[in-house]
Copies of this chain bind each other. A is one copy, B any other.
Amino acid sequence: MVSSKKELFTVEQQGAAELFKALAHPARIAILEYLATTRDCITGDISEILPLARTTVNQHLSALKSAGFIQGSISGAKTYYCIDPTKVEKLKSMTNNLLRELSDANPHCLCNDSSKPISHEDSDPLYGKQLP
C-alpha cells in the first residue's frame, strides 16, 4: 500500500463509508445501545458493562466521537457521553439513500433477470465454483 486511495472516491461515498466504519465493531454498537438506554453515561460505567478494558472502551468512545455519533461533556472529574440525535438522523437518511439506490436498480442486473434463466445456483452448475 503506497497511499490510502480513499480520497479518489466521491465525498458521498467517503462519507457513507466513514459512517459505516464507525459502526463496524460490536463494541461500538453495544456502546451506542447502552447510551440509548441510560442517563448515566460515563466511561467507567460503560467499561463495566462491556467485556473490554477501560482504555479499549475509551478508544472506541473516541472513534464514535470522531465520527460525530456521540458528544462528551466534562462535569468535574467525570465525562458524560451521549448520543448525538443529529448524527443518528444523518445515518438514517444516508442509509435510506443508499438502500434506495441499491434496491431500485437491482432488477436490471443479469443475475436477477428472469429473461436469462441460466445464471444462478439453481440452474447454473458452475455457480460458486472456485477457479483452481
Contact = CB atoms under 8 A, between A and B. Distances in A.
A77 B51 CA distance: 48
Interface in A21-49: 21, 23-30, 32-33, 35-41
Contact of A36 (B20, B52, B72, B105): B105
A26 B16 CA distance: 7
Contact of A101 (B13, B14, B36): B36
A106 interface: yes
Q: How many copies does the complex hold?
A: 2
Contact of A74 (B32, B103, B106, B127): B127
Nearest to A72: B128
Interface string A107-132: 01111110000011100101111010
Contacts of A81: 111
A83 interface: yes
Q: Of A36, A102, A105, A110, which is in contact with the most chain B CB atoms at under 10 Å from its CB?
A: A102
Contacts of A89: 103
8 contacts: A9-B27, A9-B30, A13-B29, A24-B24, A33-B101, A37-B108, A80-B111, A82-B110
